[in-house]
């Protein structure tokens, strides 16, 4: 169940970040409300995940996957371009998350 909470926290963080962009510096009420609600729910589920997952492992997974998914949303939804260094960096982050998930004893 703790990994479901972590996945929900990651998804909500990506939603919050995406709507933060749409909020135009918090000048639009509905996107601002969605941003704040998504982050509040994100931290709630992250806190639930931390009951069973170590802080270091949970934060690495949350941050790493959040970066990768937010960059994906940025390209797909907001039509942002990623250059080669950005792609290499994202691949390295994703590789780190995979290594942590598969090989680290702190995750299990």
What the block records as the tokens of 15 is 């939603």
- Of 99, 97, 71, give the one whose Cα is nearest residue 7: 97
- Number of domains forming the structure of the chain: 1
Residue 66 lies in a domain: yes
Residue 30 lies in a domain: yes
Residue 108 lies in a domain: no
Q: Residue 23 belongs to what domain range?
A: 2-103
Residue 8 lies in a domain: yes
Query: How far apart are alpha carbons 97 and 62 in whole angstroms?
Result: 9
pLDDT (tens place) for every residue of the chain, 108 residues total: 999 999 999 999 999 999 999 999 999 999 999 999 999 999 999 999 999 998 888 888 898 889 989 999 999 999 999 999 999 998 998 888 888 778 877 765
Residue 10 lies in a domain: yes
Indicate the pTM of the whole model: 0.86
Q: Which residue has the tokens 């994906």?
A: 72
The string of pLDDT tens digits covering residues 35-58 is: 999 999 999 999 999 999 988 888
Q: Which residue has the tokens 């995406």?
A: 18
């Amino acid at each position: 169940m703790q990994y479901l909470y972590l996945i929900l926290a990651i998804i909500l963080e990506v939603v919050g970040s995406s709507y933060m962009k749409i909020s135009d510096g918090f000048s639009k009420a509905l996107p601002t409300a969605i941003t704040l609600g998504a982050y509040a729910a994100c931290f709630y589920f992250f806190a639930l995940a931390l009951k069973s997952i170590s802080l270091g492992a949970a934060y690495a997974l949350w941050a790493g996957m959040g970066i990768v998914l937010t960059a994906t949303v940025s390209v797909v939804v907001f039509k942002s371009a990623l250059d080669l260094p950005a792609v290499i960096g994202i691949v390295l982050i994703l590789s780190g998350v995979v290594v942590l998930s598969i090989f680290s004893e702190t995750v299990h």
